[in-house]
Chain A
Amino acid sequence: MKSLKVICPNGHLGFAPLKTESFRIGVDAGPDYIAADSGSDDIGPVPLGSDTCASPRAWQEHDLEAMLLAARETGKPMIIGSAGDTGSNSRVDMYVQIIRDLAKKHGLAPFKLGWFYSEVDKEIVRGKIRSGSRVLGLDGRADLDEAELDASERIVAMAGVHPFLKLLKEGCDVIIGGRASDSAVFASAALHEGHAEAEAYYLGKVLECASFCAEPYGAKETVMGEIAPGKVEVTAMSPDQRCTIASVAGHAMYERSNPFHEYVAGGLLDMTDCHYEQVAEKTTRVTGMRFEPADEFRVKLEGSGKLGERFVGMAGIRDPYTIAHVDDVIAWARAQVVERFGETGWSLHYNVFGRDGIMGEMEPLRDKPAHELLVLVQGVAPTREMAEELTMTGTRQLFYARLPDVKGTAGGVSFVFDEVMEASPAYRWTVNHTMAVDDPLDLFPTFTETVGADHMETA
């Protein structure tokens, strides 16, 4: 069987622009597919909950333009997964529109565009729960119940290869995916061309973050994966990077709790017996991967729920006595908030930078604060007005904290801004679960249309 080459220019398309030099080198190396994943749950629950992107549209257009022009110039398919960070329906629509606009801008000859959605109607999930089909919690979470379901603003399901394969079979030249497993974006290309599941999913696993599988460290550079029966070879395209045994094997564990197993919708990629071999200066070959199909088809769900409106304040502390009693200072400010707003219906969060601001309760050195501290204050409340006043109280009252032996009685903290700033509304991850479905395509409706200079019709 003929080998297949796939290039990936960006590990999270849109989060920062791809590097054009290594992308060009990759395109010139003659790939059969150009693919990238655009999503992540790393960005926290705000983008999914508020249905926004984590990054400027200009960065996403930059990468989509580079990939689309290269794909149409070479006549090779282009595949994008998890459009616009979250893969929500509005982000898919946004990417589809960007592709239409780019086709028009560059006068591209007609091509077939396909896309699929990933948002899940809450009533479908409710139906599962009520029918007794458990929606199982991941990572120690309890099974999903209707209260947590109702608290969710938006839920997306994580597609496997299935909707991509359907659209490839329909002859799509460009595919925009809703939320999908990172590896499915690449594995679908390999499976469509007849390659085996184990190598196909490994190809996806190793390419999903682009140059993160190369060294020295350098993000947003293009890498190429080549799949053939029994093996996957991965090559860095940047002149400054190599794919080494260490960098490729090391990547197998990146962002995964366990380096041996990668679960995807429909099965498990087992990397326990993978063997790595340096076959050229910039190329590492991997063999020995296995794939075990799952008995039951379960789809991962991600959901985000709104907690309230949010403001942020900041205060600095330099007095060593005040630093030693910073928790008392915070307790004072919090007490003033309770006096004003009562005990419930709001929340205040203090991060003390210079002590344990980044690590919180896990900080080993929290008893050794720096000589100056920054207290970051977040207030969350049902309305903007309340969130603003709450945060202002929780910040301003740090200034008036009553410490018994403080020398400086004209004001206990420093302010860079004597104001609080509106932040994104506060959300939390409500759903990190899996749900059984009868058909792998059930949650992922697909659509196609022909796009081009003077051509636009929906099939």
Chain B
Amino acid sequence: MMAPRKLSDLAKTIRSKNAGTDKITFDVIFRERDVYEAVKRSRVLTRETIAALYRISDNRITDFVEYDPANAIKFTILRPRPSGSPGDPDIFGAQQYAPLLDIEVPIDA
């Protein structure tokens, strides 16, 4: 029986930050290799789940990488508007990760 765990309880780091003027990149980094592998297997973080969570079309996700050397899942999206344009409330893109925290992961870790 697998009890769901929140991604925020499993990951060491969940962050977002600008990658240039037109993109925001997200890093989800795990301390333990087995937890990282289990989250990968769970398929809670994929292009499809991210697009649904952030209410964006799939083609706004420019990169999606499972990055084994750092036990990390990383993806990058095109911003709704370039950083710092009037109306952009997050010039650094530094608070856009929050919806990832509550993702439920079916995992035995």
Cβ 8 A contact of A378, one of B55, B62, B71, B87: B87
Q: How far is the CB of A458 from chain B (nearest CB, A)?
A: 36
Interface stretch of the complex, out of B1-9, B37-45, B74-82: B74-82
Residues facing A in B6-30 (CB within 8 A) are: 12-13, 17-23, 25, 27, 29
Asked if residues B21 and A43 are in contact (CB atoms below 8 Å), the reply is no
| Complex partner residue of A362 from B25, B54, B62, CB under 8 angstroms | B54
Report whether B19 and A257 are in contact in the complex, using a CB–CB cutoff of 8 Å.
Answer: yes
Chain A residues contacting B53 (CB-CB under 8 Å) are 364
**Contacts of A124-163 to chain B: CB distance below 8 A:** 138-141
Q: Does A46 contact B (CB under 8 A)?
A: yes
- A residues 230-276 in Cβ contact with B at 8 Å: 245-246, 249-250, 252-260, 274-276
Q: Are the C-beta atoms of B72 and A259 separated by less than 8 Å?
A: yes
Q: Are B19 and A255 in contact (CB under 8 A)?
A: yes
Q: Which listed residue, B21, B85, B88, B91, touches A432 by the CB 8 Å rule? A: B21
Among A41, A250, A274, A310, which residue has the most Cβ atoms of chain B within 10 A? Answer: A250
Pick the contact of B55: A41, A256, A362 (CB < 8 A). A362
> Are A246 and B31 interface neighbours, CB within 8 A?
yes
A362 to B81, CA, bound (A): 12
Contact check, A364 vs B65: say whether CB atoms are below 8 A apart.
Answer: no
Question: Which of A180-188, A332-340, A423-431 contacts its partner?
Answer: A423-431
Q: How far is B104's CA from A117's CA once the two chains are assembled, in angstroms?
A: 51
Asked, given contacts A246-B71, A253-B67, whether A429 binds B85 with beta carbons under 8 Å apart, the answer is yes
- Cα-based distance from A357 to B20 in the complex (angstroms): 22
Asked if A448 is at the interface of the complex by the 8 Å CB criterion, the answer is no
Question: Which residues on B sit within 8 Å (CB–CB) of A427?
Answer: 84
Centre residue among B65, B80, B82 by max chain A CB count within 10 A: B82
Q: Which residues of A contact B12 (CB under 8 A)?
A: 246
Secondary structure of the B contact surface, majority rule: loop
A236 CB, nearest partner CB in chain B, Å: 17
- Taking a contact as CB atoms under 8 Å apart, the answer to whether B22 and A256 are in contact is no
Whether B20 lies near A139 (C-beta < 8 A) is: yes
B65 touches A260 (CB 8 A): yes
Q: Closest CB of chain A to B61's CB: distance in Å?
A: 10
| Cβ of A20 under 8 Å from chain B | no
CB of A440, distance to nearest CB on chain B (Å): 21
Q: Which residues of chain A come closer than 8 Å to B56, judged between CB atoms?
A: 362
- Chain B residues whose CB sits within 8 angstroms of the CB of A310 once the complex forms: 86
Decide if A454 is an interface residue (CB 8 Å cutoff): no
Does B70 count as interface, using CB distance less than 8 angstroms?
yes
Query: Interface residue count for A (Cβ, 8 Å)?
Result: 51
User: What's the A-B contact tally at a CB cutoff of 8 Å?
Assistant: 145
- Residue B34 lies at the interface, judged by CB distance under 8 Å to chain A: no
Contact of B20 among A41, A245, A364, A376 (CB under 8 A): A41
- Closest-by-CB residue of B relative to A303 is B21
Q: Is the Cβ of A349 less than 8 Å from the Cβ of B82?
A: no
At the interface, yes or no: A42 with Cβ under 8 Å from chain B?
Answer: yes
Q: Tell me whether A349 and B87 are in contact (CB under 8 A).
A: yes
CB distance from A49 to the nearest CB of B (A): 9
Given known contacts A253-B67, A254-B27, A46 and B84 CB-to-CB distance under 8 angstroms? yes
Chain A 357-372 interface residues, beta-carbon cutoff 8 Å to B: 357-365
Tell whether, in the assembled complex, residue A252 and residue B87 are in contact, meaning their CB atoms are under 8 Å apart: no
Q: Min CB distance, A270 to chain B, in Å?
A: 13
Q: Does A351 contact B (CB under 8 A)?
A: yes
Task: Tell me if A347 counts as interface (CB < 8 A to partner B).
Answer: yes
Contact in complex: A351, B87 (CB < 8 Å): yes
In the assembled complex, the CB of B67 is this many whole angstroms from the nearest CB of chain A, namely 5
CB nearest to A46 among chain B residues: B84
Query: Are B17 and A252 in touch, CB under 8 angstroms?
Result: no
Residue of A nearest to B88 (CB): A44
Known: A139-B23, A362-B54, A432-B22. A45 touches B82 (CB 8 A): yes
Known A-B contacts A258-B65, A259-B72, A380-B86; the reply to A140 vs B29 at CB < 8 A is: no
Assess whether B91 is in contact with A43, with CB atoms less than 8 Å apart: yes
User: Known contacts A43-B91, A260-B67, A429-B83; can you find 19 more A-B pairs with CB under 8 A?
Assistant: A41-B20, A44-B83, A44-B84, A45-B84, A46-B84, A138-B22, A139-B22, A246-B29, A250-B29, A302-B21, A350-B87, A353-B89, A357-B89, A359-B89, A362-B56, A365-B99, A378-B86, A429-B82, A432-B21
8 example contacts (A-B, Cβ-Cβ < 8 A) are as follows A139-B22, A246-B31, A249-B67, A347-B86, A349-B87, A359-B90, A362-B96, A432-B82
Tell me the A residues contacting B by CB distance below 8 Å. Answer: 41-46, 138-141, 245-246, 249-250, 252-260, 274-276, 302, 307, 310, 347, 349-351, 353, 357-365, 376, 378, 380, 426-429, 432
